[in-house]
Structure 1
Amino acid sequence: MNQNLDPKHTSRLAQKWFKEKHIKVLEWAPSSPDMNIIEHAWEMLDRAVHHRDHRPSSLEELWEALQEEWAKLDVQAIHHLYESMPRRVEALLEAKGGYTKY
C-alpha cells in the first residue's frame, strides 16, 4: 500500500491499524512524479471544455461536451505523449525517482 504521506494515512491510529493487520506500507515521496500520460490528455480535454462558447450547465451538457471535445483531441498530441514514455522513464531513473520536467 502506498500512503504518499497523506496525514490520514500517517496518523498513529492508521499506523497501528496497518501494523495490526500486517499490511506492509511502501515508502512514497509526497510529491512523486506522475508518469501517467493520461493526465496530460485529461488536461487537454479539460481546457477544451472550458474554452467552449457555452460552458455546460448540467451533467448531461457536460457529458455531451466531454464526448465532443474528446473526439476533437489532436491524435498527434496523444501520440507524442505515448512516444515520450521512454524519455520520461529515463528521466525518472536519472532523478532516482525524484523530480523530473515531466
Structure 2
Amino acid sequence: IPSLANSSSQRLRGFGFSNVQVRCGDGFLGWSEAAPFDAVIITCAPPEVPEPLIEQLVEGGRLIVPLGEGFQMLTLFKKIEGKLEKTEIIPVRFVPMKGIIEEE
C-alpha cells in the first residue's frame, strides 16, 4: 500500500531516523537492488521463509519474521555459514503475506 509506505517513511524521518529505507512492493522477492542486508524485518506472515530474503542477507545477517498461518511465531534467523540459525521468540498475529507467494 503506497500511502502506508509514504506515511511510514515520513514518520521515521520525523523521529530522526535517516538510515532506514522504506519500500513498497512484493516482500516475498525482497529488494535485490539494495542487497545485501545486515538485517531484514518482515511485518506480514509468510507460511515459510522466502528464499530471496535468505539470499539477500549478509553472512551474520538477521531476519525477523512472523512465520505461519493463523497465529504465527515471531522468529529470528541468523545466517551462519550460509545456513539459518533459528530462534523462536513469541506467538504473534500478523496479516498474511500477499503477492507472488499466493501463486505457489
Q: TM-score range by the shorter chain?
A: under 0.3
**Higher Cα radius of gyration:** 1
Task: Looking at secondary structure, tell me which structure has more strand per residue.
Answer: 2
Say which structure, 1 or 2, has more relative contact order (CA 8 Å, 6+ apart). 1
Question: Normalized against structure 2, the TM-score is what?
Answer: 0.23
Task: Looking at secondary structure, tell me which structure has more helix per residue.
Answer: 1
